[in-house]
Amino acid sequence: MTFGLILCAGKQSRFQSETPKALMPVGGETLLAKNLAAMAPYCDRSFVVCSFENEHCFTDCEKIVLHSGKGSGDAVWQALERIAPAAGDRCFVLWGDSLQPPQIFGMLAQRFAGRAVIPCVREEKPYVLVTKNGKGARIFFSKFGEPIGAGLHDQSIFLCEAHVLLQKLRAFRAGILDAEGNYRHKHGNEMEFLDVFNDTDIEADILEIQPLGGFSFNTMEEFARSVGAAKRKKE
């Protein structure tokens, strides 16, 4: 079985809008609608991971509702615990504040061989830098002040063996959870999904691709620039 998780539970403090980022309009549709349509040929089921605060915004979709504010890794962990994937199940994980071009799902499905697949594009100033680390990947974050030069930037989408990913997230979580139930990690008081590649022995393939027209964003200004650039390219 293959399923998809679209993460939409963030507090989006930098976005400064009551509209969830996943519901921003692009070309007459929302980002969420476009991503669900692109994902549909490759997934048996698709879940929108949202929060109790914003679940009322998401209709006509299968939802997993949780408390927000604990990080993307916590959101994926909670979702997988509820789904209870079997051995061999595959899972797409993608950020709700990204636009994923349809062809990227086929590329990941074709490349998948039982290990996580991380598609990346080479950039001069990546927001997140992905490098090879033996059988896995090493992730560096500009938002935490880590030194980042030109290199491979993840595309906000991943394909993983779901059961293995859940096991690795459990191990990662157990290592950073204190007696009061709070996360304590060098990257803050949340559990970042990408840190599972840094702090466990999960195996991963880095797939370098050419830009396919997708984008991700954190602020309204970044969203406007991305949509404008996509429109100009189409014209």
pTM given for the model: 0.93
The CATH number of residue 20's host domain is 3.90.550.10
Taking each continuous run of H as one helix and of E as one strand, the counts in the chain are 6, 14
Interior CA angle at 120 toward 66 and 174, to 5°?
A: 40
Over its length of 235 residues, how does the chain's per-residue pLDDT go in tens digits? 999 999 998 765 565 667 888 898 888 899 999 999 999 999 999 999 999 999 999 998 999 999 888 999 999 999 999 999 999 999 999 999 999 999 999 999 999 999 999 999 999 999 999 999 999 999 999 999 999 999 999 999 999 999 999 999 999 999 999 999 999 999 999 999 999 999 999 999 999 999 888 878 777 787 777 777 666 566 5
Domain count, the chain: 1
**Cβ atoms of 90 and 2 closer than 8 Å:** yes
Identify the domain containing residue 10 by its residue range: 2-234
Q: Is 202 helix (H, G, I), strand (E, B) or coil?
A: coil
